[in-house]
C-alpha cells in the first residue's frame, strides 16, 4: 500500500513558506478588510457547506487563513490546518488582528489526521478548496483521514480546480498528464496572486513583490476526479454532490481568460470551454 511521501511534503513546505510571503505582499491591510465585514468565500462553497452556526469545522490545507476566518465569521468553530509555518503564523496573527477567533495548527495533514483521531476529535464539517488536491501524495490515506475525524452524519466539502485545467500552460498548450501515479517535480509554488490580481484581492490589489521566483522546488501530484471520489467512497463516505464548472473562481490560469461577474474567469469566445473547477460533497453515515 502506498504511503504519504513526507520527503516531498517537506519540499513543498519550504516552497509554500516562500510563496506565502509573496502572496500576502499583494493583499494590503487584510485585518481591516475583515474588521469591516469582508469575506473571501464564493457562493459555491457556501451552498455546499450549508448553515455554519455552531458547527465544528476543520479547514484542511487552509493556507494563510483568509477563508478560515470568513467561515468563522459565519458562526463555525474553525480549526485550520496547513503545512506551511509562514501561512499558519500569518493566519494566527490575522485572526488576532481581525478579532475573529479560530484555531490554527501547523502540521502535515496526514500527521494531523493521526493525532486528531487519536485524541478523539470530531468535526461536523471538513472543508478544502482551490489548489489543495495536487499536493496530496496519498489519496487513500487522505480519504481515510477525513472519514476518521468526521462525526457521524458529518460532511466533507471540496471545491477544487479541475485536473483538466491543470493539463494546460498559460498559453493553452498541453503540458501535464490528466493523471499520473508519479509525482511531478517542478519550480515550486508561483505567484498566482500577482497573475490573478483583483480576482483574488477584490478589496484592492497591491504590487508588492514583483518577479517572484521560488527558490525551492515543489512536488505535485496529478489526480483525476475519479481518483478523488473513489478515495472518499472507499473510506466509507457517501457521495452526495459532484459538479463541474466552466469558470475558475478568482484564479486566472490562462492569459486569455476574462474575468466576469462574481470574479469568475472564463475562456473567451471562440475557445472551447473546458471544466476549470469541480465540487464534491460526501457524507459520513449517521
How do the pLDDT tens digits run along the chain, 286 residues long?
Answer: 568 898 899 999 999 999 999 999 999 899 999 999 999 999 999 999 999 999 999 999 999 999 999 999 999 999 999 999 999 999 999 999 999 999 999 999 999 999 999 999 999 999 999 999 999 999 999 999 999 999 999 999 999 999 999 999 988 999 888 998 889 888 888 888 888 888 889 888 898 899 999 999 999 999 999 999 999 999 999 999 999 999 999 999 999 999 999 999 999 999 989 999 999 999 999 9
In a domain, 177, yes or no: yes
Domain span at 217: 6-283
Does residue 240 form part of some domain? yes
Q: Is residue 1 part of a domain?
A: no
CATH of the domain at 253: 3.40.50.150
Q: Is residue 228 domain-resident? A: yes
Residue 77 bridge partners (DSSP): 56
* Residue 69 within a domain: yes
Residue 238 lies inside a defined structural domain of this protein:
yes
- The total of structural domains in the chain comes to 1
Q: Is residue 23 part of a domain?
A: yes
Amino acid at each position: 500500500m502506498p504511503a504519504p511521501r513526507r520527503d516531498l511534503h517537506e519540499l513543498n513546505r519550504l516552497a509554500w513558506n516562500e510563496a506565502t510571503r509573496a502572496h500576502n505582499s499583494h493583499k494590503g491591510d487584510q485585518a481591516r478588510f475583515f474588521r469591516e465585514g469582508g469575506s473571501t468565500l464564493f457562493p459555491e462553497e457556501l451552498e455546499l457547506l450549508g448553515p455554519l452556526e455552531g458547527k465544528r469545522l476543520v479547514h484542511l490545507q487552509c493556507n494563510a487563513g483568509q477563508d478560515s476566518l470568513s467561515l468563522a465569521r459565519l458562526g463555525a468553530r474553525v480549526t485550520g490546518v496547513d503545512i506551511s509555518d509562514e501561512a499558519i503564523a500569518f493566519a494566527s496573527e490575522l485572526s488576532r488582528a481581525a478579532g475573529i477567533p479560530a484555531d490554527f495548527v501547523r502540521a502535515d495533514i496526514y500527521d494531523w489526521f493521526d493525532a486528531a483521531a487519536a485524541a478523539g476529535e470530531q468535526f461536523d464539517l471538513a472543508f478544502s478548496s482551490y489548489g489543495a488536491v495536487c499536493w496530496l501524495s496519498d489519496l487513500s490515506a487522505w480519504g481515510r483521514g477525513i472519514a476518521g475525524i468526521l462525526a457521524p452524519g458529518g460532511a466533507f466539502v471540496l471545491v477544487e480546480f479541475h485536473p483538466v485545467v491543470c493539463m494546460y500552460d498559460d498559453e493553452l498548450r498541453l503540458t501535464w498528464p490528466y493523471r499520473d501515479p508519479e509525482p511531478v517535480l517542478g519550480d515550486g509554488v508561483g505567484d498566482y496572486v500577482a497573475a490573478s490580481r483583483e480576482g483574488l484581492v477584490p478589496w484592492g490589489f497591491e504590487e508588492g513583490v514583483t518577479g517572484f521566483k521560488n527558490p525551492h522546488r515543489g512536488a505535485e501530484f496529478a489526480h483525476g476526479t475519479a481518483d478523488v471520489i473513489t478515495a472518499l467512497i472507499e473510506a466509507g463516505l457517501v457521495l452526495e454532490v459532484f459538479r463541474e464548472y466552466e469558470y475558475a473562481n478568482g484564479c486566472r490560469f490562462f492569459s486569455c481568460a476574462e474575468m466576469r461577474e462574481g470574479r469568475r474567469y472564463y475562456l473567451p469566445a471562440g475557445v472551447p470551454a473546458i471544466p476549470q473547477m469541480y465540487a464534491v460533497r460526501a457524507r459520513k453515515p449517521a
